[in-house]
Structure 1
Amino acid sequence: MKVGSTKSAVPSAPAYNSHEFWSSLSPAGLSDVVKQLFRIPSSNALSRAGSVLLSGPSGSGKLMAVRAVCSCLNLHLFKVDCVSLCSDTSGATEEKVQMAFTQAQQYHPCVLLLKDVEVLGRDRDRLGEDARVIATLRQLLLDRDPALSHPVLVIGTTCKPQDIPTDVQTAFLHEVKIEAPSEEQRKSMLSMLTASLPLGKEVSLSKLARRTAGFVLGDFCALLSYSSRAACTRIQALSFPGGLSEEVERDFCTAGFPVLEEDFSVALDQLHNAHSQAVGAPKIPSVSWQDVGGLQEVKKEILDTIQLPLEHPELLSLGLCRSGLLLYGPPGTGKTLLAKAVATTCAMTFLSVKGPELINMYVGQSEENVRNVFTRARAAAPCIIFFDELDSLAPSRGRSGDSGGVMDRVVSQLLAELDGLHSTREVFVIGATNRPDLLDTALLRPGRFDKLVYVGINEDRESQLQVLSAVTRKFKLDPCVNLTTILEKCPAQLTGADIYALCSDAMMCAVKRKVEWIEEGLDTESSALILTMEDFLQAAASLQPSVSEQELLRYRLIQQKFAAC
């Protein structure tokens, strides 16, 4: 006999498949958050109203964790997007908020999910707060009727907890934060997400977990989507050079095909390129030691400081490891290139920060920018933070000359963040400056930038030859090119930037010659560009050192001063 639908106060428990990631009651990487949320209503036995503020990065799985808790507690989920509650007037917004809570009461016991709760309480211009809406929301969160037999648990989610009005944030009785997953959690996420995906034998989830530092659940979903698309493109190019129709391509993708390691590499490159467009997104650089010529002693000192704690953490269990490294010396000697090569060698994400870009005209914004840099680095650990032009970010306090004391507060914030790195052994800070004498002396004390490495110019021909070989290793040279002879025609003291300029000028000479030959019909555009000895000699004739003798003497005195400290 057919019967009509009836409203149920308690939803029936669905039959979940334990192998499905999206229907799991304890999702990989989110089980700790689910347990925290589970304890809150369980401890209260739903005897009184409760509220939770759930924060975490975008795509970290906040909604999924809430759904898992609802399934564990056998509760309804009533989801409300707070953007849809915002109206042109405060009264209309207030009415919509009250209506959302009233509707949730009809499904009790249930969880009322307020998505993006930070948008409530902001005025239309987003420059101030709407006191009327804030008061209403606070009253609904705190002054709920405790006599209800089946109260509603309110969970507000946000990606920007700092944007929530203080009165709203304090109205939530509990706060739960979703942190960036660790390497082990990333591996378990990948293992569950790829359970039904055919993988190649060479695919290593452990290696993939190391390469995806800073990724959250949404990033892994995008990674699998990109890698599957790359595998489809690869197989189509091999089996169907002429292409496929849309219907046949859909059937082909439905049939399934193995995803290889090269497909994951292509997908990772696409994701890193997409992330690098965001401001300050950490990225693993692709600079090898072959790109850095000479500087052998500097390389050894840097690797001993950074690579040793990563490879043998058990030997440094006391935490007495250095996390700050300062590279100083003349401009153009390869300080930035060294930092990138270390990040590539140690498979660490690289967060490059230019000193002046953190300075903001608004009060408190510069200090917040510094805090955000270290927050992103901790989320993407193991990570190297590289501060270029550090002297512009951390000059000596009391001498900056700004009326508001902005630079003094920025230096103090930077010192506080450096002191907080002792609890995080997988975040290293490398600073580079041409003027170490302008830095605040507190930065150079033990526990901060306590390892100072001088990166000087290449004065001997052997070091210059190593740099020149590193720069020209990707060029196509004429067999008659002799790098030693080229250096003999150059000035005695050259930086790495000078040698790079030499090769750039030689390349330009070769390009001009090839263009002339093409216009005269003596060559074709498809032929390779070959650099000759004449190109290098012509470039060497006009080469001028970027560091004068007086500047070099000043840097040597600075080196002696810091070596004596």
Structure 2
Amino acid sequence: MPINPHQPSNTIPGLAEHVETLQQNIMPYLNRNSTLQHSCTVLLSGQAGSGKHSVVTYVCHLLNLHYFQIDCQNLIADTPGATESKITDMFRRARVYSPCAIVMSSVETIGRNRETGRIDNRICTALKKSIRSLVETSTDADLPVVVIATCHDKSNVVSDIRSLFLHQIQIEAPNERERYEMMIHASRFISASRDINYHKLAKHTAGFVLGDIFELFRKTVQVSIQRILQKCAIGSRLSWAEEQCLAMSGVTSNHCDVEDALTQMQSQRADNIGMPKIPDVHWDDIGGLEDVKSHILDTIQLPLDHPELAATGLNRSGVLLYGPPGTGKTLLAKAVASQCALSFLSVKGPELINMYVGQSEANVRRVFQKARDAAPCVVFFDELDALAPNRGRSGDSGGVMDRVVSQLLAELDGVNASEDVGKQVFIIAASNRPDLIDPALLRPGRLDKLIYVGISENKEDQLKVLIAQTRKLNLSPTVSLKEVADRCPVNMTGADFYALTTEAATNAVRRHIQQSISNYMDDTVCAVEQCDLIEAASKIIPSVSEEQLANYRRVKSAMAR
């Protein structure tokens, strides 16, 4: 049955722009003196949970229109004739409740044959005739009927049906300000503490839509209840009745609860391509590489701090980090995203390759669409040589890699088409073999900044790396990291220093266990001593040989710009 929607008087937080657009599209058709000779048809697209039906319901409330909703999946029958009959009957019943809005949800499900998947012209024609009949058979006394269709992706709608809708509105992922407004609105439905930092949460929820934000606060309540139950269950487990009493008594959610719920949601939603989020990596985690840090910050932070550079075309779209494995290329990309408070989307090249025709290119498009939804964002392509090899040399019979490279080039060209500095997407790629990458990717305007990330060339830089790697270890006050660095080979990478500190921590644990066995009452804290580090340094073997380093230096000279 059609209903008159009841919404609060204030607008929908974070969706006010889409509400205004839909209202402006419909209002001219509500005037009886209008000379328009066609019906008002609107196609509203957006991902699941973006607020399509909330926008439609609220606009119907503002314009005093009845809300007549039909799920297009219920229109599909066993035969095209039965489907045509259902469509005709739907429009006939809707006209009884005029003025009203016919809301066709999931419109992408109709127009195709259920068995073959081909376009069914009979269904498309039936829908076209039904929409035309709203004007052709109406009289001056009839009130208007608006047709609004919703879908997740308008490209999945049959072209003949998509052409019937004169107005098309795309609900994109909200920006940081809109997410902040949505969170303020959603938190009113729970008992929220005053310590919740909504600005920080809005920055860390890039890519979230209205439905995700409501789900976040629903999970927050669950986390808050579990926290209270754990504190109350001292020494024993609470009974089911006691847990229910605590839950019903009301629990106040604080900022830590929201962060725990956000972590759970991001881990649950992670797929093979990942979810954009701000990493927890800082400059203190990276030792040395000062020149590399400054080059990357000039490429990314400078356009953010000075938006006028983007208007003059001085900003760079991408950076390629190349060098031996284990030198910290991935850590650098994460630290830059954390330093600049940008969303970070990590993509490994082989993850995008799919056996089905066209799916690999679709995965590339999906990565950049996620980045645009989470902008400003850093997209990090690890092992780029596996994703974008030289075209014509990949050797696959279907030419899959050539098409993937072509799609990647097209996306890189349009990555910063938006003039809004808040919608910028930065590309950082890493590779151990830059000579295998297609040269078209390395031209100016794409990955136009090539930065060599090598090993620490002197003992001072090695000491900085060692300090960064031991920052989270419990070191004895008598430890001299300079002496340890002097004992290390010259060709050690950051990964080798990580292996050294891990081995030293393992040596400390073994020694502490042996001391505890010999002295049963030993309550001393396990700390890494100088002897543990010296022993680990004597056993470490560098992962990159001198010959390999010489090859990388030759590659650096060949690719120097």
In the alignment, structure 1 residue 65 sits paired with structure 2 residue 52: no
Counterparts in 2 of 1:548 and 1:526: CA distance versus 1, 3 Å: same
Comparing 144-153 with 507-516, greater Cα deviation is found at 507-516
Counterparts in 2 of 1:512 and 1:417: CA distance versus 1, 3 Å: same
CA contact (8 A) 1:507 1:531 kept: yes
Question: Partner of 1:144: helix, strand, or coil?
Answer: helix
Comparing 163-172 with 377-386, greater Cα deviation is found at 163-172
Which residue of structure 1 lines up, in the alignment, with residue 158 of structure 2?
165
In the alignment, structure 1 residue 413 sits paired with structure 2 residue 402: no
CA contact (8 A) 1:350 1:386 kept: yes
Which residue of structure 2 lines up, in the alignment, with residue 110 of structure 1?
100
CA contact (8 A) 1:115 1:156 kept: yes
One-letter identity of the residue aligned with 1:144: S
Which residue of structure 2 lines up, in the alignment, with residue 544 of structure 1?
541
One-letter identity of the residue aligned with 1:178: I
Structure 1 residue 330, shift from structure 2 partner: 0.9
- Can you give the 5+ residue segments of structure 2 that lack an aligned partner in the other structure? 32-36
**What pairs up with 1:96-107 in 2 under 5 angstroms?**
96-107=86-97
Which residue of structure 2 lines up, in the alignment, with residue 311 of structure 1?
305
Structure 1 residue 318, shift from structure 2 partner: 2.7
Counterparts in 2 of 1:527 and 1:102: CA distance versus 1, 3 Å: farther
Counterparts in 2 of 1:551 and 1:246: CA distance versus 1, 3 Å: closer
C-alpha distance in structure 2 between counterparts of 1:263 and 1:67, whole Å: 32
RMSD, matched Cα: 3.3
CA contact (8 A) 1:82 1:120 kept: yes
Please point out which of 186, 194, 205 is paired with 2:179.
Answer: 186
C-alpha distance in structure 2 between counterparts of 1:226 and 1:527, whole Å: 41
Structure 1 residue 229, shift from structure 2 partner: 4.3
Comparing 172-181 with 526-535, greater Cα deviation is found at 526-535
Counterparts in 2 of 1:97 and 1:145: CA distance versus 1, 3 Å: closer
**What pairs up with 1:19-418 in 2 under 5 angstroms?**
24=10, 26-45=11-30, 48-86=38-76, 93-122=83-112, 124=114, 128-129=117-118, 131=120, 134-135=123-124, 138-140=127-129, 142-146=131-135, 147-148=137-138, 149-150=142-143, 152-194=145-187, 200-232=193-225, 245-253=242-250, 257=252, 259-277=253-271, 279-314=273-308, 316-418=310-412
Structure 1 residue 237, shift from structure 2 partner: 6.1
In the alignment, structure 1 residue 489 sits paired with structure 2 residue 491: no
CA contact (8 A) 1:118 1:161 kept: yes
C-alpha distance in structure 1 between counterparts of 2:518 and 2:83, whole Å: 74
C-alpha distance in structure 1 between counterparts of 2:522 and 2:41, whole Å: 69
**What pairs up with 1:386-465 in 2 under 5 angstroms?**
386-424=380-418, 425=421, 426-465=424-463
Counterparts in 2 of 1:332 and 1:74: CA distance versus 1, 3 Å: same
CA contact (8 A) 1:90 1:130 kept: no
One-letter identity of the residue aligned with 2:436: L
Counterparts in 2 of 1:250 and 1:198: CA distance versus 1, 3 Å: closer
C-alpha distance in structure 2 between counterparts of 1:112 and 1:193, whole Å: 28
C-alpha distance in structure 1 between counterparts of 2:272 and 2:90, whole Å: 35
CA contact (8 A) 1:52 1:176 kept: yes
C-alpha distance in structure 2 between counterparts of 1:454 and 1:60, whole Å: 42
C-alpha distance in structure 2 between counterparts of 1:56 and 1:282, whole Å: 19
Counterparts in 2 of 1:319 and 1:200: CA distance versus 1, 3 Å: farther
Question: Partner of 1:171: helix, strand, or coil?
Answer: coil
One-letter identity of the residue aligned with 1:450: D
Counterparts in 2 of 1:27 and 1:474: CA distance versus 1, 3 Å: same
Counterparts in 2 of 1:524 and 1:383: CA distance versus 1, 3 Å: farther
In the alignment, structure 1 residue 560 sits paired with structure 2 residue 560: no
* CA deviation vs aligned residue, 1:175-225 (integer Å, no higher than 9, x gap): 111011122222333334445766555544334332332221112212333
Which residue of structure 1 lines up, in the alignment, with residue 34 of structure 2?
none
TM-score, structure 2 as length reference: 0.86
One-letter identity of the residue aligned with 1:308: L
Question: Partner of 2:133: helix, strand, or coil?
Answer: coil
C-alpha distance in structure 2 between counterparts of 1:527 and 1:169, whole Å: 73
Structure 1 residue 62, shift from structure 2 partner: 0.3
One-letter identity of the residue aligned with 1:397: R
C-alpha distance in structure 2 between counterparts of 1:357 and 1:12, whole Å: 48
Structure 1 residue 375, shift from structure 2 partner: 0.9
Q: How many residues align?
A: 544
CA contact (8 A) 1:94 1:132 kept: no
Counterparts in 2 of 1:363 and 1:315: CA distance versus 1, 3 Å: closer
Question: Partner of 1:503: helix, strand, or coil?
Answer: helix
C-alpha distance in structure 1 between counterparts of 2:512 and 2:85, whole Å: 73
C-alpha distance in structure 1 between counterparts of 2:73 and 2:107, whole Å: 8
C-alpha distance in structure 1 between counterparts of 2:520 and 2:354, whole Å: 54
Question: Partner of 1:459: helix, strand, or coil?
Answer: coil
Counterparts in 2 of 1:279 and 1:99: CA distance versus 1, 3 Å: farther
Question: Partner of 2:61: helix, strand, or coil?
Answer: helix
CA contact (8 A) 1:332 1:498 kept: yes
CA contact (8 A) 2:323 2:453 kept: yes
One-letter identity of the residue aligned with 1:37: L
C-alpha distance in structure 2 between counterparts of 1:230 and 1:281, whole Å: 22
Structure 1 residue 233, shift from structure 2 partner: 5.1
Question: Partner of 1:384: helix, strand, or coil?
Answer: strand
C-alpha distance in structure 2 between counterparts of 1:271 and 1:194, whole Å: 17
C-alpha distance in structure 2 between counterparts of 1:265 and 1:128, whole Å: 44
Structure 1 residue 496, shift from structure 2 partner: 0.8
- Can you give the 5+ residue segments of structure 1 that lack an aligned partner in the other structure? 1-6, 19-23
Counterparts in 2 of 1:53 and 1:515: CA distance versus 1, 3 Å: farther
C-alpha distance in structure 2 between counterparts of 1:294 and 1:71, whole Å: 61
Question: Partner of 2:277: helix, strand, or coil?
Answer: coil
C-alpha distance in structure 2 between counterparts of 1:501 and 1:123, whole Å: 59
C-alpha distance in structure 2 between counterparts of 1:330 and 1:250, whole Å: 55
Question: Partner of 1:360: helix, strand, or coil?
Answer: coil
TM-score, structure 1 as length reference: 0.85
Which residue of structure 2 lines up, in the alignment, with residue 3 of structure 1?
none
